[in-house]
Amino acid sequence: MTKEQIRETVFRVLGQIAPEANLNHLKPDRSIRDQMDLDSMDLLNFVVGLHKELQVEIPESDYPKLSTLNGCFDYLASRKNAA
Amino acid sequence: MAWPTILKSTRDRVLPPNLANYNQFRESFSWRRAAQELTGLPEGNGLNIAFEAVDRHALGAARDHLALRWLGKNGEVRNFTYAQLMEQTNRFANVLQELGIAPGDRVYALAGRIPELYIAALGTLKHRAVFCPLFSAFGPEPIRARMTIGRAKVLVTTQSLYERKVKSIRSALPFLDHVLLIGEDSLPPNLPDTLDFQQTVSHASDAYTIQPTSPEDIALLHFTSGTTGTPKGAVHVHEAVIAHHITGKLALDFHPGDIFWCTADPGWVTGTSYGIIAPLTNGITSIIDEGDFDAERWYGILQSQKVTIWYSAPTAIRMLMKAGAEMARQHDLSSLRFLASVGEPLNPEAVVWSKEAFGLPFHDNWWQTETGGIMIANFAAMDIRPGSMGRPLPGIEAAIVHRKNDGSIEEITEPEVQGELALRPGWPSMFRAYWEEPERYRKCFAGGYYLTGDLARRDQDGYFWFVGRKDDVIKTSGHLIGPFEVESVLMEHPAVAESGVIGKPDPMALEIVKAFVALCPGYEPTEALRRELLGLARTRLGAVVAPKEIAFVASLPRTRSGKIMRRLLKARELGLPEGDLSTLEND
């Protein structure tokens, strides 16, 4: 899976949760939650959505790695390639 | 299934619980005696929450004891001793004085869990103005509605929250005289028509004498939601501090030297009564975490701060459960002595799990915005029946009642019969009004009881069990959401002909907000429109209030008088037989 496909998936899942957000304006190294005003259920839905779309297991202890866009891309790429 | 009772034994006890023998304590308890644990203002000048919370310790032997320890999102730490907290809150009270704010004027706060919020709250109480916290995750519409109802005179907020949520509605708030902005990232705020919080506070004097305060002077305004109409502002008075103090001691078992962490946000009543006031009046150390829920972070805080008493909420506990007991066991949580939970009923699985994961069970308790403090609780020395909210606090008389059609009530004394949970008025933190809505207030009382709107039953040993809400208010992640507020925003969209909003049961959040929408002629129920509506609701209401799901329907079921039958929507959602619900519909 290419980096571009992962990026597309992350944006698609976020877009389903918060369609009002302008995802292209997100700063890649800052907290997604803060920038998009997500609540804890949104975050949970985000992880569940990524799991469904990408078929990767994401243990709770890894959630902090998904807090920024760059964190998501790196983490998911490494999980996908390891799988 | 019935869950086995969790038995308490004196061997488990590190410290003798404050409430050791329930029946005995209950019998000898009086609110008058509870009040004697407080100091009162010097020279018999009355009772002021902030004096009891801060000054009486700062002026005594505890002056250098740690009152607040703030943990920032990015690892910063700020400590406040009682003496330092007195100085800071004095400064804020002087700022209000200089701005011409009179006792009784409303000072609102819209901020995350940052030290300035706590300073503003206590400084406002010292000045005898009314403190009204708003949840920082609200969107502009809930903020506008609540500020308009209470006619906010001062708003304390951060630069980014102001820009995102207040600037666009400021022109609709003509009564708002002053906005105090807290700068971020070490930068001073720089927006027109606002004042710099830090600068204003640092220029004010650190000496302030609290003026005479009557126990019945209004102190706090907490908004809550009903099924219909605008949010309701529950009014609390300075006398509430007697209940904050004693319930902290009895239901949360505060002992000198405790390190207490209440994870609730001061935007909701728990975060004020127990996140600010109760630990301070008891002279203990309170941990404030700015960060949002994160399992690793939370265990890290419990370990590094040596937290002894932890007060949290079911949604968070269930998320920890999902992360697994193994994660808990990887941390040294040996300082923990007592765990409590509030916000919605704690399921028995979570109670039992916590005993396995921490060696200590969570103690569920029950109260609401209107009651101002914990009313029914599982106590440290009392056996736990998992799933039960426990027994009434000393000084609290709870009953199960049935409302009759003529408006009167009938008390149900037989055990195990479902009815409405009711409380005998008279405890100090009972709400004294809904802000400027006497009729709505009056409707909460009948037959000498305050009627809570919660359905419950009592077992033969006096334990209370939550059954559900009597009205259509939604309980989600510990927050109370009024369906009307959500429906109104959806109705603003030209495509929407009508909408009905319910709480859909959810394993994690108890309920999530789900909206049913019927469209005007000429509009198609497309995915694009669904996203547009979701986006509108989130922008206007904020993530915590906006629906998580939106479904299109051809029309909404209504009663003969035209009210949306939310319970029927809910029954359909759950696949329940609709006929059974006719009796539940209170039209």
Q: Encode B395-417 in three state secondary structure.
A: CCCEEEEEECCCCCEEEECCCCC
Taking CA atoms, A3 is separated from A66, A73, A78, B447, in Å, by 15, 7, 10, 67
Across the interface, do A61 and B296 touch by the CB < 8 Å criterion? yes
Rg over CA atoms, chain A: 12
Q: Give how far B131 is from chain A: nearest CA, Å.
A: 25
Residues B152 and B249 in one domain: yes
CATH at residue B570: 3.30.300.30
Predicted confidence band of residue B579 (pLDDT cuts 50, 70, 90): low
Residue B374 has pLDDT above 80, yes or no: yes
Residue B585 has pLDDT above 90, yes or no: no
Residues B360 and B324 in one domain: yes
Give B396-438 pLDDT, tens digit per residue: 999 999 999 898 999 999 999 999 999 999 999 999 999 999 9
Prediction pTM value: 0.93
Domain membership of residue B575 as a residue range: 474-584
Quote the CATH superfamily of domain A3-82: ACP-like (1.10.1200.10)
Does A57 reach chain B within 8 Å, measured CB to CB? no
Residue B11 has pLDDT above 80, yes or no: no
- The size of the A-B interface in CB pairs under 8 A is 60
Residues B306 and B415 in one domain: yes
Across the interface, do B294 and A19 touch by the CB < 8 Å criterion? no
Q: Which residue has the tokens 């209440």?
A: B262
Would you say residue B131 lies in a domain? yes
Residues B83 and B136 in one domain: yes
Residue B383 CA to residue B526 CA, distance in Å, equals 54
CATH at residue B148: 3.40.50.12780
Rounded to the nearest integer, the mean pLDDT of chain A is 93
B chain contacts of residue A58, beta-carbon cutoff 8 Å: none
Residues B427 and B319 in one domain: yes
Q: Which of B294, B274, B293 is nearest to B282 (CA)?
A: B274
Q: Are B282 and B254 in contact (CB under 8 A)?
A: yes
Across the interface, do A61 and B323 touch by the CB < 8 Å criterion? yes
Give B432-484 pLDDT, tens digit per residue: 999 999 999 999 999 999 999 999 999 999 999 999 889 999 999 989 999 99
CA dihedral B308, B313, B314, B316 (to 10 degrees): -80
Q: Are B109 and B155 in contact (CB under 8 A)?
A: yes
Residue B189 CA to residue B444 CA, distance in Å, equals 44
Where are the extended beta strands (E) located within B439-535?
445-446, 449-458, 464-469, 474-476, 479-481, 496-506, 510-519
Q: Give how far A66 is from chain B: nearest CA, Å.
A: 12
Residue where one domain finishes, among candidates B424, B454, B484: B454
Residues B441 and B498 in one domain: no
Across the interface, do B292 and A19 touch by the CB < 8 Å criterion? no
* Amino acid symbol at B492: E
Across the interface, do B508 and A41 touch by the CB < 8 Å criterion? yes
Residue B52 CA to residue B129 CA, distance in Å, equals 16
Residue B580 has pLDDT above 60, yes or no: no
B101-139: buried (b, 16+ CB within 10 Å) or exposed (e) per residue? Answer: beeebbbbbbbbbbbbbbbbbbbbbbbbbbbbbbbbbbb
Give B271-313 pLDDT, tens digit per residue: 999 999 999 999 999 999 999 999 999 999 999 999 999 999 9
Residues B184 and B110 in one domain: yes
Residue B481 CA to residue A64 CA, distance in Å, equals 28
Does A44 reach chain B within 8 Å, measured CB to CB? yes
Residue B253 has pLDDT above 80, yes or no: yes
Would you say residue B185 lies in a domain? yes
Say what the ipTM of the complex is. 0.94
Residues B75 and B222 in one domain: yes
Paired tokens of B257 = 């030297």
Domains in chain B, number: 2
Residues B149 and B186 in one domain: yes
More confident residue, B241 or A1: B241
Would you say residue B29 lies in a domain? yes
A chain contacts of residue B137, beta-carbon cutoff 8 Å: 37, 39
| Chain A interface mutation, best of B160, B164, B294, highest count of A Cβ atoms under 10 Å | B294
Residue B261 has pLDDT above 80, yes or no: yes
Residue A23 CA to residue A15 CA, distance in Å, equals 8
Q: Give how far B296 is from chain A: nearest CA, Å.
A: 7
Residue of A nearest to B322 (CA): A60
Provide the percentage of residues in chain B whose pLDDT is more than 90.
90
Terminal Cα distance for chain A, rounded: 11
Give A23-56 pLDDT, tens digit per residue: 999 999 999 998 999 999 999 999 999 999 999 9
Residues B422 and B534 in one domain: no
B chain contacts of residue A40, beta-carbon cutoff 8 Å: 292-293, 315-316, 319, 477
B chain contacts of residue A45, beta-carbon cutoff 8 Å: 548
Give B110-144 pLDDT, tens digit per residue: 999 999 999 999 999 999 999 999 999 999 999 99
| Chain B interface mutation, best of A14, A35, A37, highest count of B Cβ atoms under 10 Å | A37
Give me the pLDDT at residue B584, please: 42
Q: 10 Å Cβ neighbour count for B384?
A: 24
Does B543 reach chain A within 8 Å, measured CB to CB? yes
Residue B537 has pLDDT above 60, yes or no: yes
Give me the pLDDT at residue A1, please: 81
Residue A37 CA to residue A34 CA, distance in Å, equals 5
Residues B447 and B496 in one domain: no
Does A35 reach chain B within 8 Å, measured CB to CB? no
Q: Give how far A75 is from chain B: nearest CA, Å.
A: 17
Q: Give how far A71 is from chain B: nearest CA, Å.
A: 16
Across the interface, do B539 and A20 touch by the CB < 8 Å criterion? yes
Residue B363 CA to residue B383 CA, distance in Å, equals 10
Give me the pLDDT at residue B186, please: 76
Does A33 reach chain B within 8 Å, measured CB to CB? yes
Give me the pLDDT at residue B454, please: 95
Residue of B nearest to A36 (CA): B543
Residue B586 has pLDDT above 70, yes or no: no
Taking CA atoms, B524 is separated from B115, B497, B519, B529, B573, in Å, by 49, 12, 8, 8, 22
Residue B26 CA to residue B6 CA, distance in Å, equals 22
**What angle in degrees, to the nearest 10, is found between the helix axes of B295-304 and B314-323?**
100
Paired tokens of B9 = 């034994």
Residue B581 has pLDDT above 60, yes or no: no
A chain contacts of residue B268, beta-carbon cutoff 8 Å: none
Where are the extended beta strands (E) located within B62-198?
66-71, 77-81, 106-110, 130-134, 154-158, 178-182, 195-196
Selecting from B294, B539, B544 the residue whose C-beta is nearest the C-beta of A39 gives B544
Give me the pLDDT at residue B227, please: 81
Taking CA atoms, B583 is separated from B72, B360, B472, B577, B578, in Å, by 51, 42, 15, 12, 10
A chain contacts of residue B297, beta-carbon cutoff 8 Å: 64
Give B497-532 pLDDT, tens digit per residue: 999 999 999 999 999 999 999 999 999 999 999 999
B chain contacts of residue A15, beta-carbon cutoff 8 Å: 531
Report residue B266: phi and psi, to 5°: -65, -5
Report residue B510: phi and psi, to 5°: 70, -60
B362-366/B376-377 β-pairing: antiparallel
Would you say residue B449 lies in a domain? yes
A chain contacts of residue B539, beta-carbon cutoff 8 Å: 20
Does A28 reach chain B within 8 Å, measured CB to CB? no
Q: Are B213 and B48 in contact (CB under 8 A)?
A: yes
Residues B416 and B482 in one domain: no
Residue of B nearest to A60 (CA): B323
Across the interface, do A60 and B543 touch by the CB < 8 Å criterion? no
Selecting from B137, B293, B538 the residue whose C-beta is nearest the C-beta of A18 gives B538
Rounded to the nearest integer, the mean pLDDT of chain B is 95
Does B581 reach chain A within 8 Å, measured CB to CB? no
Please calculate the CA angle B224-A46-A15 and round it to the nearest 5 degrees. 90
Paired tokens of B48 = 């002021």
B297-328: buried (b, 16+ CB within 10 Å) or exposed (e) per residue? Answer: bbbebbbebebbbbbbbbbbbbbbbebbeebb
